[in-house]
Amino acid sequence: MKRMIGLSLIAILALSGCAKKSENEISSNWKIGGEITVVTDRTDADEIFAQVEEKFKKKYPDVVDIKWESSADYDTHITTRMNTKEYGDVLFIPFSLNATPQEYSNYFVPLGKVENLEKEYMDVTEADYDSVVYGLPSRLNSLGVIYNKKVLKEAGVEAMPTTMEEMEVALKKVKDNTDAIPYYTNYNTILGIWGGALTSFGGEQYRLKTLKAGTAFKEGQPMREIMDFIYYVSSNGLIEEDPITGDIAKSLQMLADGKVAMIVSGSQDVPTIENMNSDKDNIAIAPFPVKLNGDNAIAYGADSVVGINKNSRNIETAKAFLEFFISSESGYAEESNGISPKNQILQMNKRKYLEKIKLF
């Protein structure tokens, strides 16, 4: 996740006009047909995928079949398959490749230059190298602190913290005044979650700047801020008893039941948690308790990035599917409690989306 929304300056989402279809669009007027295989990390989206497939086949009648494959342990599964040439036609790019972006070209079809694609899409630098894009977001979500209002009220916390110091005080009050776990870490996935949150601390170009300067772990830097926070909550008994065996699904239910006060996660989980409890108004999401340029901000970006296998035997159809899949036309983003990364879609729906995830 590489972008942020200043809550008091929500208009920064308003991009300059609705982009028209241009030469930067991924697909073209070539023949689309045959069959493709799509590999994802979603083991819970069969119904949504079936709807996407139906719509895609309606648009491209010569498409015979889409084979969907998925894995719960996706990164391990797909990186193993990528040792061969058979890893689907369209797939979610494993985030582990972020560490070695120069390898994108070994596995994925280049989709275009950053400067061109960013005119059409948001967050195009999730899987890029040397100004070339190899993957685009399947959807955009907001990332922040999801909390249980009743637990905080019982603890004596009147409002969500807006600074790290306030956050530490609030979590201590939860521990002292309630039976709830103040903060559930979801340790097994915490690096990915907090990695996306870093824009709230350091701005969109934080990684490039700190890597060049060699200051990533110095006091006051985003990574250090996060490490200090995790150390504080763990050393003061403000987290679950055994974070190593933590479970995301379990933490969502515990938050809904008031057994947990806060978790860090994406806005896509808000409706899920609401449906676990009859009092839907009791769950909300807040920005990270930090300020960037004097304003609290909430990070937003991709929880999955879609690319095309460079060894695909049907690249034309794969490209058309990728473009369709990430557009609002497919319905995937919206059905998954997100928003399409296309600029014009975000421009039109930003307020509706922000209301949906309870930032207003």
Alpha carbons 163 and 118: distance in angstroms, whole number: 32
120: closest CA among 10, 22, 5, 1? 22
The pLDDT tens digits of the residues spanning 99-134 come to 789 999 999 999 999 999 988 998 888 899 999 999
- Stronger pLDDT, 166 or 354, i.e. the higher one: 166
* pLDDT given for residue 24 in this prediction: 41
pLDDT tier at 159 (50, 70, 90 boundaries)? very high
* pLDDT given for residue 343 in this prediction: 66
Region 185-197 average pLDDT = 69
H-helix or E-strand containing 330? none
* Max mean pLDDT range (17-31, 129-143, 291-305): 129-143
Taking the chain, what is the end-to-end CA distance rounded to the nearest angstrom? 22
Q: Which residue has 């300059």 as its token pair?
A: 16
The total number of residues shown for the chain amounts to 360
* pLDDT given for residue 18 in this prediction: 38
Give ∠ CA 279-283-358 in degrees, rounded to 5: 115
* pLDDT given for residue 189 in this prediction: 66
The pLDDT tens digits of the residues spanning 321-354 come to 999 999 999 999 888 878 888 865 554 444 444 4
* pLDDT given for residue 3 in this prediction: 43
* pLDDT given for residue 96 in this prediction: 84
3-state helix, strand, coil in the chain (%, to 5): 45, 20, 35
pLDDT at 171 over 60: yes
* pLDDT given for residue 271 in this prediction: 85
Joined tokens for residue 57: 């086949």
Spell 198-213 as b/e; 16+ CB within 10 A means b. bbbbbbbebbeebeee
- Stronger pLDDT, 317 or 209, i.e. the higher one: 317
pLDDT tier at 77 (50, 70, 90 boundaries)? very high
pLDDT tier at 191 (50, 70, 90 boundaries)? low
- Judged by DSSP in three states, 173 sits in helix
299: closest CA among 87, 8, 2? 2
By percentage, how much of the chain surpasses pLDDT 90? Answer: 47
pLDDT at 285 over 80: yes
pLDDT at 213 over 80: yes
- Stronger pLDDT, 266 or 346, i.e. the higher one: 266
Give the C-alpha distances (Å, rounded to integers) separating 227 from 44, 218, 223, 267. 32, 11, 6, 23
Query: Considering the chain, what is the average pLDDT of its residues?
Result: 83
pLDDT tier at 148 (50, 70, 90 boundaries)? very high
Alpha carbons 305 and 28: distance in angstroms, whole number: 21
Lowest mean pLDDT: which of 13-17, 68-72, 250-254, 267-271?
A: 13-17
pLDDT at 297 over 80: no
